[in-house]
Structure 1
Amino acid sequence: MMKGAFEVHGALDLIQTHDQWDFNPIGFAPSVGHHSPANPTTLMRPTAVDVRYSHELSEWMEQVVKNLSEPSPEVPPVENGEWRPRKSARRDYGGVDININGEDDLHWVGHHQNSSENMGKGLSRLDEHGLSLLTLLLECAVAISVDNLSEANRMLLELTQMASPYGPSCAERVVAYFAKAMASRVMNSWLGICSPLITHKAVLGAFHVFNNIAPFIKFAHFTSNQAILEAFHQQDRVHIIDLDIMQGLQWPALFHILATRIEGPPYVRMTGVGSSLDVLEETGRQLSCFAKRLGMSFEFHPIAKKFGDVDISMVQVRRGEIVAVHWLQHSLYDATGPDWKTMRLIEQLGPRVITLVEQDLAHVGTFLDRFVGSLHYYSTIFDSLGASLPCDDPSRHRVEHCLLSREINNILAIGGPARSGEDKFGSWRMELARHGFTQVGMSGNSMAQAQLILNMFPPSHGYTIHQGDGTLRLGWKETSLYTASAWTCNSFR
């Protein structure tokens, strides 16, 4: 076993090749075979224990999202991307009737008369303090959406005194981080765009911790590695292009399998894209050392750029290589470059396989759209961490503070085309299909890899896997959080 960032564990040997003759590989854990492949869209749930954890915040927010997604008969028309202000407003947030008054407040007319009845059970799981915090946070978002900054600032001052990121409830912790992001939004609106500096060491360290305490990162790595392994079947020269390589945690697992192929290891080249040259060079050294220990020929080329600013001239594409492009998307960066430029690069590369792992979170729309969507999304993640770790757990706080808080800030305080100047796709899967790429269904072996990851966490933690439409989705309870898919150029069909 190698010392340092990369280690090979026995579970890595379970990544299997998938050939065209429907060969049934051995080596999977017995529990994988319990799930019948006859219905690929079946929700895969842990069966050992009935999951009963009360996901207080995410359930409440799910009802809020449903309420906000249904049009109100008295909602005013849109002006310049935001709702037209009216003098007063009322809205039912999942059973909490909010009154908003003032000349510049948003006009929302309350509806869903039975919301309180529908959400009675969910609301009972939130104490009075949590409900008052969420209600005030929603009112503050409305004020920000119509540029009523003085009123928003007043509410933010109140929120910062009421909510702590160290609070015992998920609701209080989420509100604390959202209030911080919205305070940055208000300050940016007064002073202009403010882009916070990224502390790479802190972010990468927290990312590694997140990989250890939750299945999301492992899910992205193992399912993508399986799809890439299948695309590299019997190929002797391969080129992996990672659009956001960070520490390269997922690649030793793939290298280990490639190095032990019956036909021998391929010659592997890797291009790693990232914002820090120092981090890229260290990642390259670690991967090169690991490949050497495995007896595998390997080259690493760093590109210290935003992936949206990379053009084809920066990538050394060689004739005879099979190209794989990998992209694990997240919201850790305040600016990444326009999505259309990234799409153009992928088109020019003509890869055999594209492995894409997306957050099920929209980065488009008005501030209020992004606020509601991200509050629902991150409340679910906070609840998932709260289901498995106590409130004073240092690893949990490190992930919430260094990763999740930063993502929330980038979505609310920095995000939006008007602020970053970047056009974002609503769905990368839709755009890939529109640009002529063909989806490759995630194989049964990829599903097996995902299930193996899930088996590493007790059923009581509430994580779920869903396979359908050629994708794999990992979520918590009924909420999908990450979706993995694979694509290919039409020339390889």
Structure 2
Amino acid sequence: MRNQLFEELERRLLDDEDEDEVSASGCSAVTTSEWSETMQQLISPPPPAASAVQNPLSPSPTTSSSSTASSSASCSPPSATPSRQMLSDTVAAIVDGNLEAAAVNLSVLKRAANPHGDPEQRLTAMMVAALYSRIEQPPSSGALHHPFAELCSAEHLAATRMLYELSPCFKHALLAANLAILQATRDYPRIHILDFDLGQGSQYVSLIHAIGERHRHHPSARPSFIKITAVADPTSPFNSNNGSGGLRMVGDLLAKLAQRSGVGLRFNIVCRRVAELDEAALGCEPGEALAVNLAFVLSRVADESVTPTNPRDELLRRVKALGPRVVVLVEQDMNGNTAPFSARFAEACGHYGAQLESLEASLGRESVEREPVEACLARKAANSVAREGADRVERCEVFGKWRARMGMAGFRSVPLGPSVAEPVKARLAASLRSKPGFTVKEEAGGLCFRWLGRVLTVASAWR
């Protein structure tokens, strides 16, 4: 079966059909969603049927995951709605140690929750599950029951990729990152991209096509050559489900896609800890334009609030020492790192409420694709709300904090400008003609993607 899937995608990559429709904005004969669906089947085993999508109302601590929330004004229903007010009261009871009152509130909220209802009902279901997970945490009993095991599962990683492709705020933020790389490397025939979370490689489908198109429109220029280095930290739990074999398969297909697009490509895998990364280990060479892709990476790296070794700043120092032409940063915009529990919960309600509303606007209530994506968001919310210390493995920040951290690491902001912002705005408008509410605006050096005024994701470039 794996060979059949591989051969089918390879056949489509090597199809000789006319490609005049391909453009630098990311249109492709093989779409990123088709690519990701096939790569998921190739790389990851199908999840057990019983665990495909868990009931968000189940008080099981296995609904763990990540963190988020934004500093922008929320477009979600105000916190004064009955469900949100009772959720806030429940959080206050937990903070006061009154778990009996919290449990009573949660039993009432379960009746108002509906994981298939409107966005507010879905949010209530998500947050009830997260609070149950916090107050009913059992003793850890091995790696399979680790508090963040679900965030590192093949099922969750696949659903995360679906989120990146189906949510306009995630999808177009990644498009902005690609365009920033194109802009920074436009005068260089040799491009070296360091990627710390390659996944299924779907982000590079449109980038490779765009680089090929750039050469087609300027045939007198030297042919472009891309080197992609996938960095896999062997100590990171997020790398356990896509080992060297899976990465190599992704690299082989990217190489075939590049060949079809008239672009030379070399793919390398570096399995090293962050402290071991330098130019020699990463294969950096003179004359190449180095681009570092940190899309949705830094929020999953612990900082000084978790451990005095501060791996987050260590990674930034290592990247800065490489002298890259550009570093692209894409992150969810929310105060989910050092804020206390009650503030973090309020942020999570605002952020995930807006996420659920935006998915309903872009996909519709009956979309079957929403179920795995919202299960992914529920795991993220549970980890953000229910876990503390090292068990909280996704620690999102608002953009102002990322800007300060990048500055302290020696980076300066590179304005994205009209060459990035305008194509992104055009693509967003074209894909959501009859679905108002999504906006994009450049602010403080970042391209901010909003749903009804609330920033959900931000893309930025640094050097």
Judge same fold: TM > 0.5, yes or no.
yes
Contact between 1:328 and 1:357, CA under 8 Å: does it hold in 2?
A: yes
Match of 2:418 in 1: 444
TM-score (norm 2): 0.72
Change (3 A) 1:247 1:272: same
What is the aligned partner in structure 1 of residue 179 from structure 2?
Answer: 226
- C-alpha contact (below 8 Å) 1:219/1:450 kept by paired residues: yes
Matched position secondary structure for 2:269: strand
More deviation, 375-384/7-16:
7-16
The one of 262, 266, 269 equivalent to 2:227 is: 269
Shift of 1:404: 1.1
1:216-365 aligned at under 5 Å gives the runs: 216-260=169-213, 261=215, 262=218, 263-273=221-231, 275=239, 276-277=242-243, 278-303=245-270, 311-312=277-278, 314-329=281-296, 338-364=311-337, 365=339
Structure-2 change in CA distance of 1:296 and 1:425 (3 Å): same
TM-score (structure 1 length as normaliser)? 0.68
Give the counterpart letter for 1:361 in structure 2.
Answer: M
Which residue identity is paired with 2:267? Answer: F
Count of aligned residue pairs for this structure pair = 377
- Deviation per CA, 1:308-356: give whole Å up to 9, x if none: 6773375332233221111222799697983222222222222110111
d(CA) in 2 for partners of 1:143, 1:190: 22
- Structure-1 separation of matches of 2:357 and 2:300: 24
Counterparts of 1:132-143 in structure 2, within 5 Å, are 132-143=82-93
Query: What value does the CA root-mean-square deviation take over the aligned residues?
Result: 3.4
Corresponding position of 1:113: none
Identity of aligned residues (%): 26
Q: Secondary structure at the match of 2:413?
A: strand
Cross-structure match for 2:389: 417
Distance change in 2, residues 1:326/1:334 (3 Å): closer
Distance apart, 1:159 and its partner CA: 3.0
Q: Distance in 2 between matches of 1:234 and 1:331?
A: 28
Q: In structure 2, what is the Cα distance between the partners aligned to 1:446 and 1:11?
A: 20
Contact 1:338-1:423 at 8 Å conserved across structures: no
Distance 2:140 2:152 in 1: 23
**Alignment partner of 1:4 out of 3, 9, 13:** 9
* CA shift for structure 1 position 197: 3.3
| Structure with greater contact order relative to length (CA < 8 Å, sep ≥ 6) | 2
Residue 173 of structure 1 is matched in structure 2 by 122
* Cα distance between partner residues in 2 of 1:424 and 1:310: 25
Q: CA, structure 1 residues 14+424, in 2 after alignment: closer, same or farther (shift >3 Å)?
A: closer
1:420-476 Cα offsets, whole Å, 9 max, x none, are: 599886622211122221111112111122112212112434111112333211111
Q: Which amino acid aligns with 1:465?
A: V
Question: Which residue does 1:460 correspond to in 2?
Answer: 435
Alpha-carbon distance change, 305 to 395 in structure 1, aligned in 2, over 3 angstroms: farther
Structure 2 vs 1, CA of residues 309 and 213 (structure 1 numbering), >3 Å: closer, same or farther?
same
Output the CA distance in 2 between the equivalents of 1:279 and 1:146.
47
Partner residue of 2:351 out of 377, 382, 402: 377
| TM-superposed deviation, 1:376 | 0.5
- Measure the CA separation in 1 of the matches of 2:409 and 2:312: 13
Check whether the contact 2:327–2:461 (CA below 8 A) recurs between aligned residues: yes
Structure 1 stretch displaced more, 416-425 or 141-150: 416-425
- Shift of the 360–203 alpha-carbon distance from structure 1 to 2, 3 Å rule, reads same
Question: Does the 8 Å contact 2:195/2:229 carry over to 1?
Answer: yes
1:410–1:445: structure 2 CA closer, same or farther, 3 Å change rule? same
